[in-house]
Structure 1
């Protein structure tokens, strides 16, 4: 008798993968904790998290919108100004360092930088440059809007039962003097790039794990019962500033993020991992879930991921096909990182 004789079929490549059609691969996630339909769920992180929030709403689960749009705001403006994209209007939080930074401002009373970007008499927030496409009329209006988002973060963390965070990137740009992390390289979407002030960082395992650990500690200090569900975005980098080929840079970045998620699951009982990354990128699926540009995920891929997600919650086999889960199209996703493609 040896330990392998007692393992279920899902533990062996032949029985779990090789002998099954790709669409019948299942049992990919066994949740570490129960998530009830009534549990308030927060979503944040990289752009793929938008699919999760949309699917939760479609299943009538309790997705927490802590910063709702004004009631009289037209639908097209809600989308353009990023209401309802994540649980609060931070825009995409591509790195754990960015999540930690927002939580420090919201929960730890850490002073915010006074930096703003001005263009043609309008003001833009360096830390969420796309939430107001036309900018703000004044610096005061910008800072007031940021305060509203910080209050929404406080509300979301206090009310949430589950915080879903999608890790997206390791590459980022920081301010040399203050150390603040930008969501995008200054000068790409808004602002101006200054090599004397702006520095490239590619966060490794240690820094990424520490940032995520700090973020979890900040949230659980306010809400000790909060549970974390981590995912890794399967969307490759649009561009890499490392000097490496973008394929190698993507592999490095996703490997670090996946390793961090795995380590946190081992170290912290309140943390779980859902394998959206593996479902989309795994060899059994032969890249079938990617659009022709090999970057954006197809609606079919999103639907397959979410069937696995809800099957895990229900502790049942994921159906090969079901009613399509409404997903955000490639054109509708809010992904500031994708704008780097303009410079190719």
Structure 2
């Protein structure tokens, strides 16, 4: 009797690929691709994407940052102002719709009606409300910086050899005037909330899939040879606006994003999915990849993700990441959660500041 499972690889079986290996050596990635020193590697997405950016930089590869800090600015100030955190100063791009609209602003003339907010007598870019901690002195100053920023965004999309996009959320706040998507709710990091002007949206699975495919098509239209690497952030929602438990909302968001990534990988030859989400949330990890708050990813979890990332994408360096041991310089670049810039966390800070 023939058995269709008889000739499958070990990774197709739970007992061989999950139960048998030591937890720190579980590797759910089954594909390989080469990121070499000459490739320009760009990043965008949620907070967790910053770990990949740091790892690429620490590995000596070409982390592409067309929007770099001015000469003489300290590393600390540059990080506070979002220089080098991602390839351009777009801040956290949590939802796929937000990424689509960023492309449309850079290439297709989309100009949101409500793009500048006030905060403490200063002005902020509504789509990057935390890149200037003290805000701008005038609305015109914001507009000038946006023009410069969008020039760099065009470089990211047109010149990157690899575009790494970490999918983070499905929940967002949207302008009722033109559908513009914001990274934080109005009134949290700037502006004033008004239900007549803004609405909550939780994108459906179909909407996320359609947006992701649209984004890929748009990127390919200006950069036909780009390789797109998708990941899903394992960091849970810090809060949900849905009238349900935050864990239920988190589970929905991550499931919808994971399905969209799978559809995209199956649909496009230049798209590959890297399972950082699966590594961190694996039952084999026994929860040790999450900190005491059950949300932030621990150093040991980040190291596991980066070992597997190096193994499958950095073929000439994979021998350095074969075990759980990591070199001191690389470890230092990965281990500080305090250095991860996360727009979502401003929600809790704003509530604490208001006495909640």
Please confirm whether the aligned pair reaches a TM-score higher than 0.5, indicating the same fold: yes
Q: Which position in structure 2 is the counterpart of 1:336? A: 343
Q: Which position in structure 1 is the counterpart of 2:134? A: 134
Q: Which position in structure 2 is the counterpart of 1:25? A: 26
Judge conservation of contact 1:96–1:208 (CA < 8 Å) in 2: yes
Say which SS state the counterpart of residue 98 (structure 1) adopts: helix
Pairing 1:321–2:325 present: yes
Q: Which position in structure 1 is the counterpart of 2:42? A: 42
Unaligned runs of 5+ in 2: none
* Aligned-pair CA distance for 1:32: 5.6
Judge conservation of contact 2:34–2:312 (CA < 8 Å) in 1: no
Range with bigger deviation, 296-305 or 333-342: 333-342
Q: Which position in structure 2 is the counterpart of 1:69? A: 69
Pairing 1:124–2:131 present: no
Say which SS state the counterpart of residue 5 (structure 1) adopts: coil
Q: Which position in structure 1 is the counterpart of 2:11? A: 10
* Aligned-pair CA distance for 1:31: 3.4
Say which SS state the counterpart of residue 255 (structure 1) adopts: helix
* Aligned-pair CA distance for 1:4: 1.1
Separation of aligned partners in 2, 1:114 and 1:39:
37
Q: Which position in structure 2 is the counterpart of 1:99? A: 99
Question: How many equivalent residue pairs?
Answer: 343
Within a 5 Å distance, the mapping from 1:194-273 to structure 2 comes to 194-273=194-273
Judge conservation of contact 1:98–1:181 (CA < 8 Å) in 2: yes
Pairing 1:303–2:303 present: yes
Judge conservation of contact 2:172–2:201 (CA < 8 Å) in 1: yes
Judge conservation of contact 2:44–2:86 (CA < 8 Å) in 1: yes
Say which SS state the counterpart of residue 207 (structure 1) adopts: helix
Range with bigger deviation, 156-165 or 84-93: 156-165
Judge conservation of contact 1:32–1:272 (CA < 8 Å) in 2: no
* Aligned-pair CA distance for 1:312: 1.1
Unaligned runs of 5+ in 1: none
Please give the per-residue CA displacement for 1:186-242, whole angstroms capped at 9, x wherever unaligned. 111211110111100000111111111111111111111111100000000000001
Separation of aligned partners in 2, 1:226 and 1:20:
35
Separation of aligned partners in 1, 2:209 and 2:153:
21
Q: Which position in structure 2 is the counterpart of 1:166? A: 166
Q: Which runs of 4+ in 1 moved over 4 A?
A: 314-317
Judge conservation of contact 1:89–1:131 (CA < 8 Å) in 2: yes
- Structure 2 CA distance for partners of 1:313 and 1:76, relative to 1, 3 Å: closer
What RMSD over aligned residues (CA atoms) do the two structures have, in Å? 1.6
Say which SS state the counterpart of residue 134 (structure 2) adopts: coil
Separation of aligned partners in 1, 2:160 and 2:113:
28
Q: TM-score of the superposition, structure 2-length normalised?
A: 0.93
Judge conservation of contact 1:51–1:302 (CA < 8 Å) in 2: yes
- Structure 2 CA distance for partners of 1:319 and 1:151, relative to 1, 3 Å: same
Judge conservation of contact 1:170–1:208 (CA < 8 Å) in 2: yes
* Aligned-pair CA distance for 1:298: 0.9
Separation of aligned partners in 1, 2:114 and 2:235:
33
